Amino acid sequence: MSKKPIKNKVSSKRNVSKKIVKPLKKSVKKVSVKAGKKIVQEPIVMQPPRGMRDILPNEQEYWNRVRMVLDKEYPKYGFGRIDIPVLEYSNLFIRSIGKGTDLIDKEIYTFVTKGKDKVALRPEITAGVARAFIQHGMNVLPKPVKLFSIGPVYRYDRPQEGRYREHFQANFDIFGEEDSVLDAQLIQLAYRILGALGLKNVQFQVNSIGCPDCRKEYIDMLVSYFESKKKKLCKTCKARLKTNPLRILDCKEDKCVQVSANAPQTVDHLCNGCRDHFKSLLEYLDELELPYAINPQLVRGLDYYTRTVFEIWSTDEEGKKKSLGGGGRYDKLIESLGGEPTPAIGFALGIDRLVLEMKRIKAKSYENPKPRIFIAQLGNLAKKKSLKLFSDLERDGILIAESFGRGSLKSQLRTANRLGVEMTIIIGQKEALDETVIMKNMITGTQETVPQEKVLNAMKKILKSKPMIIKKKKINNI
Ligand code: HAM
């Protein structure tokens, strides 16, 4: 994406719809003189920062479908919604996610405020939710406490399709229960959501990375294995040997993948408690008949995880895998942030990726209800009457389209036709004076004049009857 500044010039609507508007190339530096001083203003770049984008109305159908499904599913599983700031003190994230992770070392957006506070745009949602859980004393609530949140997340990563510096997550966290029945229920919820979105061809990858007790021994073993193969590792993984050896298992570089294939596996080195926990999770998943693959290389990129970790993958036509969501247990996080020991588990879905996947497989989107009536008007008095009529109809829950601009009657009727409405109410200069309206049936082309005070009831009657099937070809009488 080039970052060339362009002139701040608004194109006409007509241009926008008919042509692809090319950014103008020249930047304009604005120079002004104030109190004898020359002030040079930087040109405005007519695009958001790299890796961020607008989600335009024509894409919202997919986003709406995702939001609708989420809104329907989270209460069914006992979640309450929580909204938290996108900005938190930086050390909350550093302590939760951990130094040595890509998220903290490379991707977090941090800055110092005018009040000298060190803050960060959230690179994920769970740390903030955990902070809110402790701050608001939610540990006294009946357990488990289930919290759902949705919103933007910021990661300074190299942008590409499906990877943005601002992306959106739907985040589910459950506090206060250690039993793996909740791990299974959360995976079931993820299945339910993806199924409702039409995304059935996905793979659930699960693993257990143990608790701090068994993991310490495992990591020692892993480090000595990778030390013996150090020459074969990529540069980043050589560094990871010191900072975050677990992450080497997750490296996508061919040579590291080959070395990792023979590395000791977490599941073979779990303590009894962690092994039983993982075993019972798999039993629950089998009971629920939810397919999964055990992936011993799956470690996740955040330090707070313990025991269960999982990811949901989609595969495109070229065999490329993308993670649509992921999560796991973080039984020690609340305590490490200063709260009472509270086991927890959660996961997040990447909404941008869900939408991409829905488009790729041509899954159903949610179309906003279409207006069935159009109001066309001509002249100032007619416009006034139309505005009132619009408000009356809208108050009665009737969806109406209008074009209160200055267009001719002909062009307004063309718009009505394009929108595929069933009826058009026309108020011209004569009708405005007579206090009448013309009701035009857009399918048959018939029209009748009715008094203004009767139009509301007349419309309600017509709309109560079955929606008419509009065949565009047949509308040739405009
Ligand atoms: P995560 O795997 O880092 O987990 O992110 C969750 C999902 O967000 C990913 O599976 C992916 O679909 C999406 N995602 C991540 N980065 C990007 C990006 N740069 N552009 C577009 N989509 C992206 C977490 O964030 C954990 N906090 C999940 C969790 C909740 N664990 C416990 N509770």
Ligand 1 atom at minimal distance to the Cα of residue 173: 33
Ligand 1 pocket: which of 102, 164, 167, 312 to mutate (most atoms within 8 A of CB): 167
73's tokens = 């599913």
Q: Which residues line ligand 1 (CB under 6 A)?
A: 124-126, 155, 157, 162-164, 167, 169, 171, 173, 301, 323-328, 346-348, 350, 352-353
Instruction: Please answer whether residues 385 and 404 qualify as being in contact, where contact means their C-beta atoms are separated by less than 8 angstroms.
Output: no
Provide the pLDDT for residue 238: 93
Provide the pLDDT for residue 252: 84
CA distance 80 to 76: 10
CA of 255 to the centre of ligand 1 (A): 26
The candidate with the shortest Cα–Cα distance to 219, out of 281, 251, 264, is 264
* The domain made up of 57-211+271-361 is a member of CATH 3.40.50.300: no
CA of 313 to the centre of ligand 1 (A): 12
Range of lowest pLDDT (61-75, 139-153, 239-253, 296-310): 239-253
Confidence at 384, pLDDT banded by 50, 70, 90: very high
Ligand 1 pocket: which of 97, 163, 169 to mutate (most atoms within 8 A of CB): 169
Range of lowest pLDDT (48-57, 120-129, 399-408): 399-408
4-15 pLDDT per residue, tens: 444 444 333 333
CA of 75 to the centre of ligand 1 (A): 22
Residue whose Cα lies nearest atom 16 of ligand 1: it is 163
CA of 350 to the centre of ligand 1 (A): 6
CA of 373 to the centre of ligand 1 (A): 43
Ligand 1 atom at minimal distance to the Cα of residue 163: 20
Residue whose Cα lies nearest atom 15 of ligand 1: it is 350
Strands 145-154 and 166-175: antiparallel
Q: Which residue has the higher pLDDT, 89 or 31?
A: 89
322's tokens = 């993308």
Ligand 1 atom at minimal distance to the Cα of residue 345: 32
Q: What is the mean pLDDT of residues 239-266?
A: 91
Range of lowest pLDDT (260-264, 333-337, 351-355): 260-264
For 373-464, give the CATH class: alpha beta
Residue whose Cα lies nearest atom 1 of ligand 1: it is 326
The domain locations on the chain are: 57-211+271-361, 373-464
Residue whose Cα lies nearest atom 13 of ligand 1: it is 350
Range of lowest pLDDT (194-203, 248-257, 286-295): 248-257
pTM for the model stands at 0.86
Crossing angle of helices 351-360 and 60-76, in 10° steps, is 120
In the predicted model, is pLDDT for residue 45 greater than 50?
A: yes
400-411 pLDDT per residue, tens: 999 888 789 999
Instruction: Please answer whether residues 137 and 145 qualify as being in contact, where contact means their C-beta atoms are separated by less than 8 angstroms.
Output: no
CA of 315 to the centre of ligand 1 (A): 17
Q: Do domains 57-211+271-361 and 373-464 have the same CATH topology?
A: no
Query: Which position has the token pair 């109560």?
Result: 464
The candidate with the shortest Cα–Cα distance to 401, out of 59, 413, 410, is 413
Q: What is the mean pLDDT of residues 423-429?
A: 95
Alpha helices (runs of H) in 1-87, residue ranges in sequence order: 13-18, 60-76
282-313 pLDDT per residue, tens: 999 999 999 999 999 999 989 999 999 999 99
- The H or E element containing residue 118 is strand 118-121
The candidate with the shortest Cα–Cα distance to 478, out of 421, 400, 406, 393, is 421
In the predicted model, is pLDDT for residue 468 greater than 90?
A: no
